[in-house]
Amino acid sequence: MALDTPYRAIFCDLTSDQTLDILPLRDVSFDDYIGRAGSLSGTVPIPNRAIADRVRKIRPGRTTVYLERGGDLWWGGIVWTTNLQGSDRGVLTLSVQAATFDSYATRRRIRTDDFKTLFTQPTDQFDIARHLWSKLSVGLRASSIDPGDWEEKSGVLRTASWRHGDETVYQEALDQLGAQVDGFEYQILVYRDPGDGKRMRQLRLGSPKIRTGATDMIFDRPGAILSYTFSDDATRGGTEALARGASTNSNAAAESRPTLSELMKPDKLDGDWPPLDLSSDHNDISDKATLNSLAKAAVEEASGSAQIPEISIRLGGIVPPALLGRTARIRITDEWHPTGLDARFRIVGVKVRPAERGRPDTAELALEEA
């Protein structure tokens, strides 16, 4: 990160949340998404022995990194990989790859029977998600995830069971729970406590979607929109979905077959489509009703073709750090939209490239129909 960048890279000890150092990052980019972990990559220059001793404190799996802009935390996560490089000119650098705190759920497996019978009675899906995050984030100690407001409910009741020995990844459990009909989305929000300035990490839930802000953010082209792409991809869509689950065969001599959902179709399709098949595997689910819900949600989400609009904007003082879940009003006038496009989208992904070597501070926004 160049000296003129508006961002500060703060490296901290993961288990104590104590600041280790504030170091320059070059060639940096970072992103964040609803529903999956975001990433950060950058390079720390090591021009001398003194800097080397400071950089040595960055340890994968034991260090967190936060990006701060104008006093606000824009990104936070865990350093998972570093790569020390010495060039043929004698230049030393340490490349750093990190992922948002959501990624911790991909590195933990359910190795307790706490969840074997806890949710066998219908339980609000938000409560189940908060219990899962509360359990898995204990290992983060001082950097643990605040489960949020337990009084907030989704109004959707589920049953669930995970057993020690099944080696279910926490993220898989969360994703399967949220991917059902009337499911939910989750994100780990990082920010500073307005009272004492302490770094906070909080689980954010939304059913069926995470939404932020009461007013639309308006982006125009010509204007704030530097470029855009509207991808329409039929290879990622479908018209029929089947979900496969665990085998319930108790006869060891018989052929083992998975539990199957019913063949699910979307409630409505735009136009006349040929059959396009979607399939998903859920090896730790044997309940047919749950499999039906997963298959139905999948085909409704990707009915027909998958439309993936993105815009690139110049970041400025009017753009807040909490962009995910905001509603963007996109207004475009060009040869493809001669009468003008005026549509509302939800921001589901943000990829930021800080200003460097004359390049402006920009963000790419991944959108979906609001």
Mean pLDDT of 235-257: 83
Q: What is the mean pLDDT of residues 237-244?
A: 96
Q: Both 218 and 364 in a single domain?
A: yes
Domain annotation covers residue 2: no
pLDDT band at 2 (very low <50, low <70, confident <90, very high): very low
Would you state the pLDDT for residue 217? Answer: 94
Q: For position 216, which CATH number holds?
A: 2.30.300.10
Distance in angstroms (rounded) separating the CA atoms of residues 322 and 318 = 12
Instruction: Say yes or no: 169 and 261 in one domain.
Output: no
Q: 38: closest CA among 97, 93, 89, 90?
A: 97
Amino acid at 307: Q
Domain boundary among 49, 67, 102: 102
Q: Which of 284, 301, 318 is the last residue before a domain boundary?
A: 301
Same domain, 84 and 140: no
Domain total of the chain: 4
The verdict on residue 33 lying in a domain is yes
Domain match, 218 and 343 both: yes
**Are residues 15 and 38 located together in one domain of the fold?**
yes
**pLDDT value, residue 251:** 64
Same domain for 15 and 91? Answer: yes
Quick one: pLDDT at residue 3? Answer: 43
Q: Among 83-87, 230-234, 236-240, 304-308, name the one with the lowest average pLDDT.
A: 304-308
My answer on whether 116 and 158 are in the same domain is: yes
pLDDT attached to residue 319: 72
Mark whether 216 and 365 lie in a shared domain: yes
Residues 85 and 179 in one domain: no
Least confident interval from 121-125, 231-235, 320-324:
320-324
Residue 211's beta-bridge partner residues? none
230-244, 324-338, 356-370: which range is least confident on average? 356-370
Based on the fold, state whether residues 320 and 227 are members of the same structural domain. yes
Mean pLDDT in the chain?
93
Task: Provide the pLDDT for residue 254.
Answer: 65
Claim to verify: residue 43 and residue 118 sit in the same structural domain: no
Q: Give the whole-angstrom CA distance, residue 34 versus residue 32.
A: 7
Mean pLDDT of 191-218: 95
| 3-state SS, residue 178 | helix
The residue out of 78, 102, 126 marking a domain boundary is: 102
Q: Is residue 224 part of a domain?
A: yes
CB atoms within 10 A of CB 241: 27
Task: Kindly tell me the burial class for residue 102, based on how many C-beta atoms sit within 10 Å of its own C-beta (0-12, 13-18, 19 or more).
Answer: buried
Residue 1 lies in a domain: no
Beta strands 19-23 and 39-46 are: unpaired
Give the whole-angstrom CA distance, residue 188 versus residue 172: 16
Task: Quick: pLDDT tens for 88-119.
Answer: 999 999 999 999 999 999 999 999 999 999 99
pLDDT of residue 253: 61
CB 230 within 8 A of CB 148: no
Q: For the segment 289-331, what is each residue's pLDDT rounded down to a tens digit?
A: 999 999 999 999 999 988 889 999 988 756 778 899 999 999 9
Q: How far is Cα 114 from Cα 336, in angstroms, rounded to an integer?
A: 56
234 closest CA partner among 308, 297, 343: 308
Domain shared by 259 and 313, yes or no = no
Instruction: Name the residue range of residue 143's domain.
Output: 108-206
Helix 170-178 / helix 125-136 crossing angle, nearest 10 deg = 170
d(CA 147, CA 124) in angstroms, rounded, equals: 14
Collapsing DSSP to helix, strand or coil, 97 comes out as strand
Q: Is residue 184 part of a domain?
A: yes
